[in-house]
Amino acid sequence: MTEKKSSDYQKDIEMSDIRLTLIARKGPTIIELMKGGMTPNRAAEVAEVSRETVRNWLKRGMLEQQRIEQGLDPEPSEKVYMDFAMGALKAESEAQAGLVLAWYKEGRAGDWKAAKEFLAARWRQEWGSENTVKLEVSPLGISAQAAPQKVDIEEDDKRKRAVLAALVEAGDLPSSVLGAWDKNEVIDAEVVENETQD
């Protein structure tokens, strides 16, 4: 048995005995749009079919596929829905596969940014950025939230002290800040501001 493509499912829908139904008229268009990378919801909007209708078509088709996989006889009236659901799944897979392959080829051709992004997306644990910061803008201002990350506390403290030392050396902070840091004392912001202004 040869593997079907999304276009094969489109043809099956077009040739269905129920030519005048909405799925026979709009289903192939939705599958074609999905081959281009559109989500089922967006493809439904473009084809002027409600999202709920497309969700129902997909659900009916998947249920029929499950029935057949369980060894039950196919329902002829459900075939068009199964063809639509299988075509939609195949279209999404084809769209994703084509883009992933293009991205991979760009990375292999020497585009280091494409390679870096591909590695970070494909193997997130090894290559993903764990040091991201989420910025939220609201009427009250901007707030930053660090992404959860595994940090060695001693190493983090060393980095913080190095930053403070650089700021003291640049004259942006008084030298007393380092002493307070080393003694684990609370640093009064007003005192720091007054000392740096002197």
In this prediction, residue 139 carries a pLDDT of: 58
Verdict on whether the full-model pTM lies above 0.75: no
CB atoms within 10 A of CB 85: 22
Spell out the per-residue pLDDT of the chain, length 198, in tens.
577 777 777 777 666 655 458 898 899 999 999 999 999 999 999 999 999 999 999 999 999 999 999 999 999 889 999 999 999 999 999 988 888 888 888 888 878 787 778 778 877 777 777 645 555 555 565 555 544 555 566 776 777 777 777 777 777 667 777 777 777 766 555 554 555 555
Do residues 164 and 181 lie in contact, with contact meaning Cβ atoms separated by under 8 Å?
Answer: yes
In this prediction, residue 96 carries a pLDDT of: 87
In this prediction, residue 131 carries a pLDDT of: 46
In this prediction, residue 102 carries a pLDDT of: 86
Do residues 9 and 87 lie in contact, with contact meaning Cβ atoms separated by under 8 Å?
Answer: yes
CB atoms within 10 A of CB 30: 28
CB atoms within 10 A of CB 38: 19
In this prediction, residue 130 carries a pLDDT of: 62
β-pairing verdict for 133-138 and 141-146:
antiparallel
Taking the alpha carbons at both ends of the chain, their separation in whole angstroms is 84
